[in-house]
Structures are given as structure tokens and as C-alpha cells.
């Protein structure tokens, strides 16, 4: 029996990935798996690791560019790992919860700490795995510990120091984030917390192209600089390949004007990287994850 039989209940063999992508780009997944709880996630991850083929984790789809060809690699989507448990300042949240909803809910309850991350899309697990953030803070600032379903089939709680949080980076062990525990104290001035969130959202709407599909900032900021400003200075804003465009509003966004293809977005990414390297000597680091499709060799299928 293969893992396909063991996890048939939670497997979709024909899932349109474009629907799960903020870019609205993506082919069909031939094994899209939505485990029902953390224990099942651990069993699944162990089975996939034993099978020895590549596999991936998809959170909210806010920070990935997926190939529009068919994907044979199993894709684990922890969207059913929901729920919130509170114990004073501590808030434990399932990885599949919507992050913007969490930010709004805790601000409404008068807790502070997440309002600086207002406007960042995604699911809690992905936000954690990427250490998402912006100019006002990053997710790691509030983390107490992180639960991971590891490839040896265990559920492990890692303390903040063990996660290896860096700038848009973590050193989590291979596996899937299943839950996080955050410290979110009650604010003395809850109105001020909500005001800070509203102000950050207002500024983003002014400076970022939020009406068109995209994965937000494509590149991490180079040390001491801004990728958006750099791309602007290189004169690349407004450059188009097919329906993919470097946003005229913010240089670090590549937007989908309607029917953009994976290869078109990738061509713009490559062009920006080449220009930044040749004209400025800067090696930009991709913040978004690019997912080429993996095709199972014919003899294995
Ligand atoms: N700028 C330009 N031209 C542009 C874009 C920006 O001159 O086309 C200038 C701005 O005027 C500003 C500076 O560059 O002086 C920085 O720009 P901005 O304030 O927009 O912030 P950022 O560094 O580009 C970061 C995060 C964003 C986050 C914002 C606000 C990274 C790579 N980006 O952007 O995150 O929304 O701060 O907190 O850290 C994302 O991760 O997807 C993302 C969009």
C-alpha cells in the first residue's frame, strides 16, 4: 500500500492550484492533501518522507509563484488545522487560521502585538515559516513556541530560540508547522492598537498595488537598502512580459494584469535579478517561493 491509499480520505487528485494562489496562477495538483489535525499531519509527513519523493507545503498561497503545468509532487495544505486557545497573555493558534483574521480578532479583543503586521496575507503556519513582517515588525517578535509535525512522524514544540528566526527566514526542521503560541498582552489603550493597525493598512493601500493579484514583495530588501527603490532606480517599473507587469506603483511587486503565465512572471524576476547584478553588483534574494512543477518519471507512475 502506498501513502496514497492510506490518506485517500484527505487527498484531492485534481486540484486547481490557481485557486489557492494570490497570483491566480498555477496548474493542477495531482495529490493535494488536507490533513484534519496535527496528528494526521505528522503521520502524513512521515509517510511522504519515507516515499522519498519531493513534496511541498502550501499555506495561504500568498507568497508563492506556482508553475502552471501539472504538479505530481504531493502538496500538503494545513488549512484544516484551526482553532484558538487562550491562557492569559498566551494565545495558541492552529496553522491553518487566516492571519489577517487573527490580527483583526486580537486587536478587537484589546490585545497588542500583532497590529504592526496588519495587512499581511496568509495562513498562520506560512507566516511563521517565512517569518513574515514589514517595516514595523516581524512575526518572530511575538512567538513563544512553534509546533512542528516532523518527518520522523513526531509533533514537537520548539521554543522561539530553537526556530532560528531571521529576516524572512527560519531554520525549522523538515516538516509542517501545525500551531504557534504567541504572547499577546492586553493593551492599556486598546483604541491606540486599533488605530496603529488602521494607519498601517491605510499606508499600504496608498503605496502598494493591492487591487491586482500578486504575491506582494518579490525580493527581500538588500542589506541597508530597499528592493522596491532599487528596481525603481533601475527604471524597470512598468516593464511587461505578456500579462505580468512590474508594478508602476511599487517596484518590488510584479502584478498579474489578467492572464499572466508562470513563465512571464519568472522572466521579469530574472530580468530584475540580471539588471541588479550587472548594473549595481547586488545579488537580490527572492522572498517569494518559486515552485517549478515536478513530474514523476514515467517508470514510477
Ligand atoms: N520606494 C521607491 N520606489 C518604489 C518602492 C519603494 O522609491 O517603487 C521607496 C519608498 O519610497 C521607501 C522605500 O523605498 O522610501 C521603502 O519602501 P516601502 O516603505 O514600500 O517598504 P519596503 O521596504 O519596500 C517592506 C516590506 C513589505 C511591507 C512594507 C511595509 C520587504 C521586502 N518588504 O517593503 O512587505 O509591506 O515594508 O511594512 O521587507 C511583502 O513581504 O510581501 C511586503 C510587501
pLDDT at residue 299, as a whole number? 63
Percentage of residues of the chain with pLDDT beyond 70: 99
Structure-block grid coordinates of residue 93: 493558534
152 confidence band (pLDDT: 50, 70, 90): very high
Nearest atom in ligand 1 to 247's CA: 8
168 is catalytic: yes
For residue 222, pLDDT beyond 90: yes
Q: Which of 100, 132, 217 to mutate to test the pocket of ligand 1 (most atoms within 8 A of CB)?
A: 217
Structure-block grid coordinates of residue 51: 516515499
Q: Looking at ligand 1, which residue's alpha carbon is closest to its atom 26?
A: 134
pLDDT at residue 298, as a whole number? 79
**How confident is the model over 256-298, as pLDDT tens digits?**
999 999 999 999 999 999 999 999 999 999 999 999 999 988 7
pLDDT at residue 297, as a whole number? 86
For residue 225, the CA-to-ligand 1 centroid distance in Å is 10
Q: What residues pair up with 169 in beta bridges, in sequence order?
A: 166
Nearest atom in ligand 1 to 207's CA: 20
36 confidence band (pLDDT: 50, 70, 90): very high
pTM over 0.85: yes
pLDDT at residue 301, as a whole number? 53
Percentage of residues of the chain with pLDDT beyond 90: 97
For residue 252, the CA-to-ligand 1 centroid distance in Å is 7
Residue 126 and residue 60 in contact, taking contact as beta carbons nearer than 8 Å: yes
Report how far apart, in Å, the C-alpha atoms of 231 and of each of 140, 222, 274 are. Answer: 28, 12, 11
Q: Is 122 in the pocket of ligand 1 (CB under 6 A)?
A: no
Q: Which of 217, 240, 279, 295 is catalytic?
A: 217
For residue 66, pLDDT beyond 60: yes
**How confident is the model over 67-89, as pLDDT tens digits?**
999 999 999 999 999 999 999 99
Q: Is 232 in the pocket of ligand 1 (CB under 6 A)?
A: yes
42 confidence band (pLDDT: 50, 70, 90): very high
Residue 170 and residue 58 in contact, taking contact as beta carbons nearer than 8 Å: no
For residue 300, pLDDT beyond 80: no
Q: Is 77 in the pocket of ligand 1 (CB under 6 A)?
A: no
Buried b (16+ CB within 10 A) or exposed e, 254-264: bbbeeebbbeb
For residue 187, the CA-to-ligand 1 centroid distance in Å is 28
**How confident is the model over 100-146, as pLDDT tens digits?**
999 999 999 999 999 999 999 999 999 999 999 998 999 999 999 99
Q: Which of 145, 168, 194, 239 is catalytic?
A: 168
For residue 264, the CA-to-ligand 1 centroid distance in Å is 23
Nearest atom in ligand 1 to 250's CA: 8
Determine the average pLDDT of the residues in 190-202. Answer: 95
The mean pLDDT value of the chain amounts to 96
- Determine the Cα–Cα distance for residues 58 and 64; give it in Å rounded to an integer: 8
Structure-block grid coordinates of residue 92: 495558541
Q: Is 214 in the pocket of ligand 1 (CB under 6 A)?
A: no
Structure-block grid coordinates of residue 246: 512590474
Amino acid at each position: 500500500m502506498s501513502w496514497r491509499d492510506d490518506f485517500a480520505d484527505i487527498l484531492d487528485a485534481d486540484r486547481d492550484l490557481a485557486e489557492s494562489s494570490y497570483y491566480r496562477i498555477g496548474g493542477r495538483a495531482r495529490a493535494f492533501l488536507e490533513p484534519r489535525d496535527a496528528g494526521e499531519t505528522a503521520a502524513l509527513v512521515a509517510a511522504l518522507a519515507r516515499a522519498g519523493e519531493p513534496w511541498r507545503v502550501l499555506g495561504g498561497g500568498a507568497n508563492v509563484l506556482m508553475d502552471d503545468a501539472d504538479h505530481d509532487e504531493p502538496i500538503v495544505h494545513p488549512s484544516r488545522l484551526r482553532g484558538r486557545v487562550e491562557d492569559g497573555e498566551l494565545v495558541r493558534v492552529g496553522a491553518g487560521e487566516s492571519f489577517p483574521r487573527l490580527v483583526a480578532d486580537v486587536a478587537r479583543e484589546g490585545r497588542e502585538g500583532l497590529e504592526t503586521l496588519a495587512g499581511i496575507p496568509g495562513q498562520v503556519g506560512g507566516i511563521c515559516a517565512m517569518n513574515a513582517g514589514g517595516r514595523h515588525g516581524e512575526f518572530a517578535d511575538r512567538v513563544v513556541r512553534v509546533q512542528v509535525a516532523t518527518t520522523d512522524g513526531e509533533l514537537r514544540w520548539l521554543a522561539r530560540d530553537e526556530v532560528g528566526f531571521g529576516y524572512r527566514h527560519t531554520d525549522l526542521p523538515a516538516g509542517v508547522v501545525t500551531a504557534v503560541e504567541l504572547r499577546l498582552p492586553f493593551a492599556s489603550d486598546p483604541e491606540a492598537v486599533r488605530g496603529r493597525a488602521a494607519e498601517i493598512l491605510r499606508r499600504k493601500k496608498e503605496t502598494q498595488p493591492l487591487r491586482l493579484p500578486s504575491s506582494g514583495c518579490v525580493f527581500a530588501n538588500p542589506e541597508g537598502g530597499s528592493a522596491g527603490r532599487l528596481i525603481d532606480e533601475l527604471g524597470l517599473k512598468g516593464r511587461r512580459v505578456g500579462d505580468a507587469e512590474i508594478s508602476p506603483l511599487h517596484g518590488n511587486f510584479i502584478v498579474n494584469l489578467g492572464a499572466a503565465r508562470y513563465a512571464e512572471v519568472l522572466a521579469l524576476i530574472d530580468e530584475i535579478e540580471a539588471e541588479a547584478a550587472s548594473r549595481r553588483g547586488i545579488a537580490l534574494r527572492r522572498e517569494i517561493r518559486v515552485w517549478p512543477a515536478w513530474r514523476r518519471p514515467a517508470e514510477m507512475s
